[in-house]
């Protein structure tokens, strides 16, 4: 979207209301792929995890206390190499 188009859109109250209600639709504004804001996968990445995932039992137990959960992620694990 060019600057002039963005300025016109910013002044169009009806269009802004539609965007709030219907979300932003890039297809109506992006006519060429090189201007797209959406990422495009151009190659496969080997080694990425492709299986199912879910929280561990340890994290689920800590989830009862937001403070304990915070410290679980905040404090680095003790690797015993000190």
Dihedral (CA of 68, 74, 75, 77) sign: positive
Confirm whether 19 is domain-assigned: yes
Q: What is the pLDDT along the chain (82 residues), one digit of tens a residue?
A: 577 888 888 888 888 888 778 776 655 555 555 555 666 667 777 788 888 889 889 888 888 898 988 888 887 777 655 5
Count of the separate structural domains present in the chain: 1
3-class secondary structure, 66: helix
End-to-end CA distance of the chain: 55
Confirm whether 80 is domain-assigned: no
Rg of the chain's alpha carbons, rounded to an integer? 23
Query: What is the reported pTM?
Result: 0.32
Confirm whether 22 is domain-assigned: yes
Q: What's the farthest any 2 CA atoms get from each other in the chain?
A: 63
The pLDDT, as a whole number, for residue 45 is 77
Structural domain containing residue 64: 3-38+51-74
Confirm whether 26 is domain-assigned: yes
């Amino acid at each position: 979207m060019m600057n002039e188009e963005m300025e016109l859109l910013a002044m169009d109250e009806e269009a802004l209301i539609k965007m709030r209600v219907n979300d932003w639709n890039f297809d109506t504004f992006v006519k060429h792929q090189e201007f797209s804001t959406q990422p495009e996968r151009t190659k496969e990445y080997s080694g990425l995890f492709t299986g199912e995932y879910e929280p561990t039992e340890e994290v689920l137990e800590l989830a009862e206390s937001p403070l304990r959960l915070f410290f679980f992620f905040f404090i680095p694990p003790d690797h015993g190499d000190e």
